[in-house]
């Protein structure tokens, strides 16, 4: 209501006059310019390409089909394997709590990396992890992949491994077969697409969507396509627990905290089709490991507007564990990483995480690390 401005006598003679509301000031030119500059910057920061139409190799993205059921025992637990699906057997706890160790980007079989793997396995053991996920880029040749995964297999835990953007599919397949023969606890996540742990159901999306970042020529690398993303909805629909999507690639983000921001230009390179299926299928948890500099953190939304603090429980949580590789890497927050891993805990409909940040090796530790390199390893040369 507008204020009345008049005296009593004047109001009797002429009536009261209402004062006019002040006009809103015109937007400052600087504000308009700032908004335009921000919009232009956001447009420049979008370097993403969504997953394309096409058909992936079955050795890259395994088919969702069943086979002859078999019971396998891993780390003292019985599981039923039926084609694409692995289900833990036994009674379900009233309030299950699942803790998973997470690795990615092991890169090479250097002594320092193998030394770090021992650190990561100790971290997982202390955290009570009951499974390890290796979310892509275990090496660029068969020998490297075999060496680093054999080291992870020493945990004795089930180890679920997917290919990322750098593995040659034939090398990955041959390496996984060889490692599994000697270490039956290591599972090919390109083929085992669904793991029911009673408390969380893991669904895998191996490979990468954008050919610009696949480090193998032609069809030699593992590329997933739009139809593979759409198939995730079918897998998620089977779940009787919260779904954890395990992928090397990442959804498209919007902010500097998103998991798809690459250096040096802070550009977004995620797959918008992943955003769509995660939303449609209501997938609350995810591991997306490709962008090293965006690692060591988790967000509550795919855009990256809300960062989840370590140890905090959240109903949605999307994690990048960072690179396990010991080579120094500058992160998006300007810190330097010399290797990291994560533990992800799911209890009820909440998840939380912790990051292990490996310290740079001392000279004495480097001497120990040098002794870990197998004579046949591709990185057995002096570091």
Split at pLDDT 50, 70, 90, the class of 121 is very high
User: Which range marks the domain in which residue 229 is found?
Assistant: 70-370
In DSSP notation, 151-208 reads HHHTT-S-EEEE--SS-BHHHHHHHHHHHHHH-TTEEETTT--EEE-SS-EEEEE-SB
CATH number at residue 242: 3.60.21.10
The pLDDT value recorded for residue 327 is 96
How many structural domains is the chain composed of? 1
State the pLDDT at residue 33: 67
**What's the pLDDT score for residue 111?**
97
Would you tell me how many other CB atoms lie within 10 Å of the CB of residue 57? 18
pLDDT value at residue 91: 86
Domain presence at residue 30: no
Does 322 fall in a domain? yes
By CB atoms closer than 10 A (0-12, 13-18, 19+), residue 85 is: buried
Nearest to 291 by CA among 304, 308, 300: 304
Q: Is residue 251 one of the residues assigned to a domain? A: yes
CB 353 within 8 A of CB 91: no
pTM, whole model, 2 decimals?
0.88
> With 60 as the cut, is the pLDDT of residue 18 above it?
no
Q: Is 229 among the domain residues?
A: yes
Under the banding of pLDDT at 50, 70 and 90, the label for residue 42 is low
- pLDDT band with cut points at 50, 70 and 90 for residue 375: confident
Does the pLDDT value for residue 246 go beyond 60? yes
Can you say whether residue 304 is alpha, beta or left, with left for phi > 0 and alpha for psi between -120 and 50 degrees? Answer: left
Per-residue pLDDT at 16: 42
Residue 39 covered by a domain: no
In this structure, is residue 250 part of a structural domain?
Answer: yes
* pLDDT tens for each residue of 24-39: 555 555 567 676 656 5
Residue 48 lies in a domain: no
**Other C-beta atoms within 10 Å of 169: how many?**
23
Q: Is residue 60 part of a domain?
A: no
């Amino acid at each position: 209501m507008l204020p009345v401005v008049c005296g009593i006598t004047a109001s009797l003679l002429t009536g009261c006059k209402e004062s006019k509301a002040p006009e809103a000031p015109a937007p400052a030119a600087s504000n308009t310019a700032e908004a335009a500059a921000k919009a232009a910057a956001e447009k420049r920061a979008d370097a993403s390409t969504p997953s394309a139409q096409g058909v992936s190799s079955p050795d890259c993205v395994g088919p969702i089909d069943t086979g002859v059921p078999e019971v396998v025992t891993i780390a003292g637990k019985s599981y039923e394997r039926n084609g694409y699906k692995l289900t833990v057997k036994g009674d379900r706890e009233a309030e299950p709590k699942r803790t998973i160790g997470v690795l990615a980007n092991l890169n090479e079989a250097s002594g320092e990396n193998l030394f770090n793997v021992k650190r990561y396995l100790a971290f997982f053991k202390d955290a009570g992890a009951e499974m390890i996920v290796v979310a892509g880029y275990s090496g660029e040749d068969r020998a490297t992949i075999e060496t680093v995964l054999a080291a992870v297999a020493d945990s004795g835990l089930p180890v679920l491994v997917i290919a990322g953007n750098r593995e040659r599919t034939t090398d990955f397949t041959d390496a996984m077969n060889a490692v599994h023969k000697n270490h039956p606890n290591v599972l090919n996540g390109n083929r085992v697409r669904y793991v029911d742990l009673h408390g969380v159901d893991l669904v895998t999306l191996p490979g990468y969507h954008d050919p610009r970042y696949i480090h193998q020529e032609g069809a030699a690398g593992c590329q997933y396509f739009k139809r593979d993303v759409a198939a995730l909805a079918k897998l998620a629909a089977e779940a009787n627990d919260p779904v954890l999507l395990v992928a090397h690639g990442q959804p498209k983000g919007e902010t500097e905290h998103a998991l798809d921001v690459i250096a040096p230009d802070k550009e977004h390179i995620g797959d918008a089709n992943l955003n769509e299926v995660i939303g449609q299928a209501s997938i609350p948890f995810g591991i997306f490991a490709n962008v090293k500099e965006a690692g060591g953190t988790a967000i509550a939304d795919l855009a990256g507007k809300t960062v989840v603090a370590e140890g905090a429980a959240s109903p949605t949580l999307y994690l990048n564990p960072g690179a396990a590789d010991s080579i120094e890497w500058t992160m998006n927050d300007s810190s330097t990483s010399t290797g990291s891993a994560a533990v992800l805990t799911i209890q009820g409909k909440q998840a939380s995480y912790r990051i292990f940040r490996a310290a740079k090796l001392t000279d004495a530790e480097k001497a120990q690390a040098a002794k870990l390199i197998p004579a046949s390893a591709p990185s057995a040369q002096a570091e």
